[in-house]
Amino acid sequence: MTEEMNLVEVKNFEVGDKVSGQVTKVEEKQVIININDCKLDGIIPISELSSLHVEKASDVVSEGDQLELEVLKVEEEALILSKRKVDAEKSWANLEEKFKNGESFNAEIKDVVKGGLVVDLGVRGFVPASLVEAFFVEDFSDYKGKTMAFKIVELEKEKNRLILSHRAVVEEEKGKQKNQLLESLEAGQVVEGTVQRISDFGAFVDIGGIDGLVHISQLSHEHIDKPSDVVQEGQKVQVKILSVDRTNERISLSIKETLPGPWTNISEKAPKGSTLSGVVKRLVSYGAFIELFPGVEGLVHISQISHKHIATPHEVLNEGQEVEVKVLDVNEQDQRLSLSIKELQERENEFVTDYELPEESKGFQLGEVIGDQLKNLKK
């Protein structure tokens, strides 16, 4: 091609024109293009190949590639072209639509830089370190080349500013899962969970993406002073759902109700007729409540406390006192135990111990007095 012909061809183009062409040669710092529909060559400087920094032109294009380009300069024998500007123009329109709709999309991490990650979307997208994950990441070196889902959180075309977030995608997905889980939960269900946090008033348990509270009163059938006495963070537990407040996203849980109750199989632990040790827990006007096992109390009616007549249980018993009792009756369904202390005591000779000597006989031997009474009975 003569210089005159080149000059004529070049003069047919203006800055900003859109052209297409085929890559005929890839050099280290530039790419040679044959413009379609004419015999004119164009040059793409390496800086105009991508919105990102490029070390070698061959990292972006190969011989034979068909490209859409924009004219940057019209020189005497060639056109200076840009692939980057065409890609960016197409991308901005697409990205604005995604931003408007809150759409998420996948993209490859092209580079790891100070403060975050770089993504090529036809324009340079930046992911600040704080928006990469929902958890702290110390080293991002393994992220290069990784494909991740992103949402656009800031877009300013005039400033060429595009801020992306993978964390937003993760949190949105968690939110959807949380809502689905809330809808599926019903009081009475038993599910597995993991203890996340322990407080003075109970334990928070993760049941699949949402935390529920096990109040301290629902941790055990036995009285406990603090939740850490029975559960630890990270522990897997079975919990029963007591209530679900979907509006406030509050779930009440119970570990206690998934455990065998203290009265379970009480007929085997305290069979009728057996003798057991217990502790006096409460004294009332009609008897004494004896704790035989943690959470299991039985009643010794006042009539079963002593062979002697007593007005109140306080006459012979004290709270905290250890006693031996005999099981008179077991009712597991109603959680009742009837006990007796009296039946384990020998019956005293009431005739001897309760007899009051007449005043006039106090100088005589007891045997003589009784002997005289017996004689009188024989008459």
pLDDT tens-digit readout, 161-183: 999 999 999 999 988 888 888 88
Alpha helices in 319-361 (DSSP H): 350-354
Q: Evaluate whether residue 94 is within a structural domain.
A: no
φ, ψ of residue 23 in degrees (nearest 5): -70, 120
- A 10 A CB-CB count for 6 gives 17
Say how far apart CA 146 and CA 131 lie, in whole Å.
Answer: 16
Residues 11 and 68 in one domain: yes
What does the angle CA 27 – CA 86 – CA 20 come to, to the nearest 5 degrees? 65
Residues 217 and 275 in one domain: no
Contacts within 8 Å (CB) and 24+ apart, 148-152: 148/106, 148/107, 148/109, 149/104, 149/105, 149/106, 150/104, 150/105, 150/106, 150/107, 150/119, 150/125, 151/102, 151/103, 151/104, 152/95, 152/98, 152/99
Select from 139, 170, 201 the last residue of a domain.
170
- Tell me, what's the pLDDT at 348? 52
Whether residue 362 has pLDDT greater than 90: no
CATH number, residue 157: 2.40.50.140
Structural domain harbouring 298: 266-344
Residues 72 and 12 in one domain: yes
- A 10 A CB-CB count for 226 gives 12
- Tell me, what's the pLDDT at 236? 95
Rounded to the nearest integer, the mean pLDDT of the chain is: 86
Q: How many domains does the chain have?
A: 4
Q: Report the DSSP beta bridge partners of residue 243.
A: 252
Whether residue 145 has pLDDT greater than 90: yes
Residues 224 and 192 in one domain: yes
Burial grade of 51 (CB within 10 A; 0-12, 13-18, 19 or more): buried
Q: Evaluate whether residue 359 is within a structural domain.
A: no
Residues 203 and 254 in one domain: yes
Residues 254 and 271 in one domain: no
> Residue 88 CA to chain centroid, in angstroms?
42
- Mean pLDDT lowest among 121-125, 186-190, 260-264, 278-282: 260-264
- Please report, as a single letter, which amino acid is at residue 162: L
Residues 40 and 105 in one domain: no
The dihedral built from the CA positions of residue 63, 66, 71 and 76, taken in this order, carries a sign that is positive
- List Cα–Cα distances, 27 to 48, 58, 63, 85, 98, in angstroms: 14, 8, 10, 20, 36
Mean pLDDT of 40-65: 88
- Please report, as a single letter, which amino acid is at residue 4: E
Whether residue 126 has pLDDT greater than 70: yes
Select from 205, 232, 258 the last residue of a domain.
258
| Helix/strand/coil (H/E/C) assignment for every residue in 198-262 | EECCEEEEECCCCEEEEEHHHCCCCCCCCHHHCCCCCCEEEEEEEEEECCCCEEEEECHHHCCCC
Whether residue 243 has pLDDT greater than 50: yes
Whether residue 370 has pLDDT greater than 50: no
Say how far apart CA 79 and CA 40 lie, in whole Å.
Answer: 8
- State percent of the chain over pLDDT 70: 88
Select from 258, 286, 313 the last residue of a domain.
258
- Tell me, what's the pLDDT at 54? 83
Res. 272 pLDDT band, cuts 50 70 90: very high
Residues 113 and 139 in one domain: yes
Q: Evaluate whether residue 245 is within a structural domain.
A: yes
Q: Evaluate whether residue 355 is within a structural domain.
A: no
Whether residue 355 has pLDDT greater than 60: no
Residues 271 and 254 in one domain: no
Res. 346 pLDDT band, cuts 50 70 90: confident
- Tell me, what's the pLDDT at 8? 47
Residues 190 and 228 in one domain: yes
Residues 270 and 319 in one domain: yes
Whether residue 358 has pLDDT greater than 90: no
- Tell me, what's the pLDDT at 195? 96
Q: Evaluate whether residue 350 is within a structural domain.
A: no
- Mean pLDDT lowest among 103-112, 131-140, 173-182, 302-311: 173-182
Q: Evaluate whether residue 134 is within a structural domain.
A: yes
CA atoms within 13 A on the CB side of 113: 13
- Asked if residues 290 and 317 have their Cβ atoms less than 8 Å apart, the reply is no
Q: Which residues lie closer than 8 Å to 13 by C-beta, 6 or more apart?
A: 19, 71, 74, 79
Mean pLDDT of 212-220: 93
Q: Evaluate whether residue 180 is within a structural domain.
A: no
- Please report, as a single letter, which amino acid is at residue 169: V
Residues 104 and 149 in one domain: yes
Q: Evaluate whether residue 89 is within a structural domain.
A: no
